[in-house]
Structure 1
């Protein structure tokens, strides 16, 4: 049974505070540690709360994007507002998205789980569509029954 779907989405914008990931793109342990350290830092310094206060919904976005040949990772929210400390306004295109749903004990576990399923399984199984780059995101949508739930959204194009 598949735990992903293809879904049409309107274009949307995420305001993000980010960090360049320095680990090699194949070093999953290093990348995950950098992401974890980043999230801990923005929770402790209040930047995540500042973003949440501007949000138009309760979703928290963990965005991955290649910018100027750098691997970037952002914490973001949907908003029309801006912040001086924001790193980037991230445009997600209108179109088809591979959507992987899941739940886990923590937001970090959820992100790792969804990323593994999306890039390790789902994209390989969706033979009529391909990911050709652009931002992708894990969306923390809330909590239920003590678990964090959410989705990973990856823009895809028809082959």
Structure 2
């Protein structure tokens, strides 16, 4: 069983810039390519730096959320600020319990994929006392140490 914790968190807000994922939700290779291309674009065109300038801490969020029956993916930061851009979104994470999976990897993309796989592929299917009932979830890039990126996956859950 993967290592994880349950933590109670206060509600928080992430300011994100996003895209709609067009791949079928079972097409992991397609989804990962769309996410990878998106992250490359927001780094290259300066949008990620714009977000970082509005952040209340150094965390970088990769947020997944269903909005109006669309699979959305956002690059985000913790912030109370807003942006005028159409593709920006203020994402509310609810107060409550969160499944937290910790890990490290060589790149942010590898970290996000690894944590998502562990959380949704191992912990949630095996854990009988909690359930994910939807809402935004995020992999959070928190710091770099010893040449690796350290972070966590935060998934809001309810106790059964």
> Shorter-normalised TM-score: what interval?
over 0.9
- What's the counterpart of residue 154 of structure 2? 153
2-structure distance, mates of 1:136, 1:2: 18
- TM-aligned CA deviation for residue 82 of structure 1: 1.1
- Residue 90 of structure 1 is matched in structure 2 by 91
Aligned equivalents of 1:87, 1:58: Cα separation in 2 = 19
Q: What are the residue-to-residue correspondences of 1:53-72 with 2, within 5 Å?
A: 53-72=53-72
Q: CA deviation at 1:9?
A: 0.6
Displacement, 1:19?
A: 0.1
Match of residue 16 from structure 1: 16
Q: What TM-score does the superposition give when structure 1 sets the normalisation length?
A: 0.98
SS at match of 1:156: strand
The alignment covers a number of residue pairs equal to 159
Which structure 2 residues correspond to residues 5-154 of structure 1 after superposition, within 5 A? 5-85=5-85, 87-154=88-155
- Separation in structure 2 between the aligned mates of residue 35 and residue 80 of structure 1, nearest angstrom: 25
Structure 2 residue runs without a partner (length 5+) = none
Compute the RMSD of aligned alpha carbons.
0.9
- Where structure 1 has 5 or more consecutive residues not aligned to the other structure, the ranges are none
Residue 125 of structure 1: how far off its partner (Å): 2.4
On the 8 A contact 2:2/2:118 being kept in 1, the answer is no
TM-score of the superposition, structure 2-length normalised? 0.97
